Amino acid sequence: MALTIGVDIGGTKIAAGVVDEDGQVVEHLLRPTPARNSEQVAETIAEVVAELVEGREIEAVGLGAAGFVDETRSVVRFAPNLAWREEPLQKKVSDLVGLPVVVENDANAMAWGEARFGAGRGETHLVCVTVGTGIGGGLVFDGTLYRGRWGMGAELGHMQVVPEGRLCGCGNLGCWEQYASGNALVAEARQIAERDPARAAGLLELAGGSPDRIEGQAVTEAARRGDPAALAAFATLAAWIAQGLDDLAAILDPGCFILGGGVSRASDLWIDQVRENFARDLTGRGHRPVADIRLAELGAAAGVVGAADLARLR
């Protein structure tokens, strides 16, 4: 059975795995990312690949990179959390490992993994949204990964939803990820706690009494305990996620949305509200099918599986 290697390169860790034709991870490795040094990133990737190659016939390597990847799937134009600016990542890694290498945006790789082997199996038109620190996205239409003319499509988190809104890390104002992400959830909870500490008593207790010390885990724990402020923060998050999905449905008309990312681990606190809000506000509601909203199935392995499969199909 043909084997490829997928590597998911994030700002803090590099995850890699040997993947078979059925999307099964045969072996998996993790390494910290030397984020401040681009040469060390390539060397670390090569070291991980060399360890996984040992004793195996590997066809190719797929790299899922958290950044803007060019249309040739070889150069990372820009990565906000890594020292990559016009980084020739494909050539560097290929020269080091002696195997064919393709580079893909990490959210695209996740979307492809879910489309082929996860929650999107059987769907020809889907949108994958990763809700974590920010928002990433991937589009699969007619069974093909959509990259855009310059390879930089599906940056869904940077749709402007509030003119002159909150400053985003991309430099623009009012981006969707400033209202519908893990960071946005924490910001909302802190604001509620500052305005109405009595309402947020349980949340503040978990945070040592200070709104500034509220973090995502505390918001989730407090919400599961029934804290009104934490539940309100999740309700606001759900409303913003649904608004973005409604806009995407009006433009793209997918058969389903797949939601993943770190915030999805607390999906029991918001997924039903997202579905309800989405159906209520959908453009043309009552006269069109309502796209399914599903949770991703592959978890942390989605990027590795997707990158490996894209390398196989290069």
Note the pLDDT tens digit of each residue in 58-85: 999 999 998 899 999 999 998 877 788 9
Is a pLDDT exceeding 90 seen at residue 166?
A: yes
Nearest to 296 by CA among 112, 134, 142: 112
Q: Specify the DSSP element, H or E, that contains 3.
A: strand 3-9
Is the pLDDT at 199 greater than 80? The verdict is: yes
- At 26-46, the pLDDT tens digits run 999 999 988 778 889 999 999
Give the pairing type, strands 58-65 and 3-9. Answer: parallel
Q: What per-residue confidence (pLDDT) applies to 133?
A: 86
Interior/surface letters 152-183, b for 16+ CB within 10 angstroms, e for the rest: bbbbbbbbebeeeebebeeeeebbbbbbbbbb
Q: What is the pLDDT of residue 237?
A: 98
The per-residue pLDDT for 289 is 96
Per-domain residue ranges of the chain: 3-113+301-312, 123-296
**What's the pLDDT at 214?**
97
CATH number of 3-113+301-312: 3.30.420.40
Cα separation, 278 vs 260, whole angstroms: 17
Same CATH topology for 3-113+301-312 and 123-296?
Answer: yes
Residue 1, pLDDT > 80, answer no
Please report which confidence band the pLDDT of residue 12 belongs to, taking 50, 70 and 90 as the band edges: confident
Partners of 46 in beta bridges: none
pLDDT in the model for residue 314: 86
- Work out the percent of the chain whose per-residue pLDDT is above 70: 99
- Predicted confidence at residue 65, as pLDDT, reads 93
From 184, 178, 180, 182, select the one nearest 166 (Cα to Cα): 178
For 173-180, what is the mean pLDDT?
A: 96
Is 123-296 assigned to CATH 3.40.50.300?
A: no
